[in-house]
Amino acid sequence: MKKLTKLLLVSSMAILAGCGQKDDGRIKIGASFCAFNDTFQMYMKDAMDAKAAELGDVDVVYTDGKEDITIQLSQVENFIAQGMDSMIVCPTNGDAAKSISDAAIKAGISIVYLNRMPTELPEGTYYVGSDERTAGQIQGKYIADKLQGKGQVGVIMGIPGLDNTVKRTEGVKDILKDHPEMAVTREQTGRWMRDLGMSVAENWITSGDNMAAIIANNDDMALGAVAALEASNMKDKVLVMGIDATPDALAFMKDGRLDATVFQDPIGQGAGSLMVAYNLAKKKPVKKETWIPFELVTPENYKDYL
């Protein structure tokens, strides 16, 4: 019995000694997305998977933050406990990302913020994404040109307070303020979701708003607005534009149902964030911020993005 007890004790100590240690030389990265039900974020995840397969020596653990900063912080703390080499986070809230940064910095683990810029980017944190204000400016210019500087506009926004929601909306207004006969007369959140975008547009239609265009902070909400307008036989009277150039949006454009969108590169952002996190784990130098450009997509060039 004593020999058995001693053997079990030695075995237990060996197991404990191996916990959190990597003897296979592989890089381990924890990636917390703000929502798995967001189409664009899943394209970024696919790009990260492809890049990880290409690199060959990296394992990525994915979690769904469910648009809840408390859940996401808990996931980051679990990544730290698991001894991840670096982390990637698409934050559910830019302001609340400070608690995530603090936890990562305290643990000495580098963190790469993806797609949504946090309010602060302290030492040891990095960012990969696009200039969100530019996307809104591209939308505003396209709609202003198509309407020849005249008409009321409604903006369906993403989640309130997020960097991309605020800056995309501000970008639209940056352009429209230079057109005295244009104005944003309605603003309402659709929380990035197609069904909520549809509900918002339905409410505006029911209210009798005389809108010449609906600009959405992403494609899913734009497609919801298209569905609402089509159900009311009003689509031919209202321009609709989104952001992301998702396959669904391009299919709508092919069928003449969506007027325009803005290409946000999920491959560039997803693969780019993984490379930054990978290089940080390898102790290689990286840029503090990596910017991926936006591009206008119209019925004239949409085939280039299929």
pLDDT mean across residues, the chain: 91
What tens digit of pLDDT does each residue of 14-34 get? Answer: 333 333 434 578 999 999 999
CA 33 – CA 36 distance, rounded (Å): 7
What tens digit of pLDDT does each residue of 219-268 get? Answer: 999 999 999 999 999 999 999 999 999 999 999 999 999 999 999 999 99
Report, as an integer, the average pLDDT of 89-96: 85
What is the band of 216 on the pLDDT scale with cuts at 50, 70, 90? very high
CA 267 – CA 262 distance, rounded (Å): 15
In this structure, the number of other CB atoms found within 10 A of the CB of residue 258 comes to 26
Does the pLDDT at position 180 exceed 60? Answer: yes
Report, as an integer, the average pLDDT of 31-47: 93
Model pLDDT, residue 6: 37
Does the pLDDT at position 127 exceed 70? Answer: yes
Does the pLDDT at position 162 exceed 90? Answer: no
Model pLDDT, residue 293: 95
Model pLDDT, residue 23: 53
Model pLDDT, residue 163: 86
Model pLDDT, residue 258: 98
Q: What is the pTM of this model?
A: 0.78
Model pLDDT, residue 10: 34
What is the band of 119 on the pLDDT scale with cuts at 50, 70, 90? confident
What tens digit of pLDDT does each residue of 60-86 get? Answer: 999 999 989 999 999 999 999 999 999
Report, as an integer, the average pLDDT of 76-97: 93
